[in-house]
Amino acid sequence: MAEEQGGVPQFALGENARVHHLIGVISGKGGVGKSLVTGILATEIARAGHTVGILDADITGPSIPRMFGLAGAHATAANEQLVPCTTAHGTKIMSANLVLAAETQPVLWRGPVLGGAIKQFWGDTAWGDIDYMLVDMPPGTGDVALTVFQSLPIEGVVIVTSPQDLVSMIVGKAVNMCAQMEIPVLGLVENMSYATCPCCGERINIYGESKLDEVAAGYGLPVLGRLPIDPALAAAADAGTFEDDLPAGLLPDAVKLALSLPELEVSEQEPEAPAPTMAQRAAAAAAEYKAKKAAAAKAEAARAAAAGEDVADMTPHEVR
């Protein structure tokens, strides 16, 4: 039976799919580098020799396919399941952009449909065996983020922040959302933390001294890394050459932590049986009543036969 989280049934994983780790990447708001961090983790974990999947849960702002050279690609279907697209280096990706006719087509879906898309990307997708599934979350604490948190067995999240987020406490919203949903936070990554002077290599703290250590300590969370503002990262993401061009050694602590997480395996779960309707309950009660009456009549006939009574008149009437 599918496990429940806060009374909400969990989405079941599809037939033959296995996910050994499921890590979400979230932020308090958009544009802070969630997809970049998802891409870095996915690329580094794959480089370490693991099978990786990315479930792009940012349905209205998907950017994972383009980063991984899959702009314009389309997911296919086989045996009534979606087949994720596979990158040049073997990472499997499912994203709204892979099921839309064109990358520029806007997603004008309302909440329930968005939730349905998450369900399909998880349960109706032929993922196969995935060591690490990363979920690129939609920004903020909205409907889709809630659906992912309640319906997928997320083992932990990485929270991506920017220097301004730390000051404005936007990161606090993400931390508190996780606490309320009882989702473990693995730690914080500060993106756009600093820049490196192209001439002398000096580190420039554009936003002043980082507050990351202080804020992380305040929440009792580990710092999992800092990323510089680096036009080469944006260029690789835009060009779709991320897997090849990503410099090695970014976010080593985050990668190390992910690789040291205890094994969790999610495989096909029994789908939740739908609650019976009133009519079905009434039919079941009637059938039970009928069976009981028939059994009682049969027992009475057997008793009378044993006692040598004439049972001709005691044949059970058809019970209604």
Task: Catalog residues that contact ligand ADP under the rule CB under 6 A.
Answer: 27, 30-36, 63, 139, 191-192, 227, 229-231, 233-234, 237
Number of residues that bind Mg ion (CB under 5 A): 4
Name which position in 27, 51, 63, 81 contacts Mg ion (CB under 5 A): 63
With CB cut-offs between 5 and 8 Å by kind, which of Mg ion, ligand ADP, none does residue 10 bind?
A: none
Question: Which one, 81 or 161, has the nearer CB to ligand ADP?
Answer: 161
Q: Which partner from the list ligand ADP, Mg ion, none does 143 bind, CB cut-off 5 to 8 Å by kind?
A: none
- Which of ligand ADP, Mg ion, none does residue 319 bind to, with CB < 5 to 8 Å depending on kind? none
Q: Taking each helix axis as running N to C, give the angle between helix 111-123 and helix 143-151, from 0 to 180 degrees, rounded to the nearest 10.
A: 40
Q: How far is the CB of 184 from Mg ion (least distance, A)?
A: 22
* Closer residue to Mg ion (CB): 58 or 124: 58
| 191 contacts Mg ion (rule: CB under 5 A) | no
Minimum gap (Å) between residue 38 Cβ and ligand ADP: 8
The smaller minimum CB distance to ligand ADP, of residues 230 and 297, is found at 230
Q: 267: which 2 tokens? A: 């495989």
84 binding partner (options ligand ADP, Mg ion, none; Cβ < 5 to 8 Å by kind): none
Q: Which of ligand ADP, Mg ion, none has residue 230 at its interface (CB below 5 to 8 Å by kind)?
A: ligand ADP
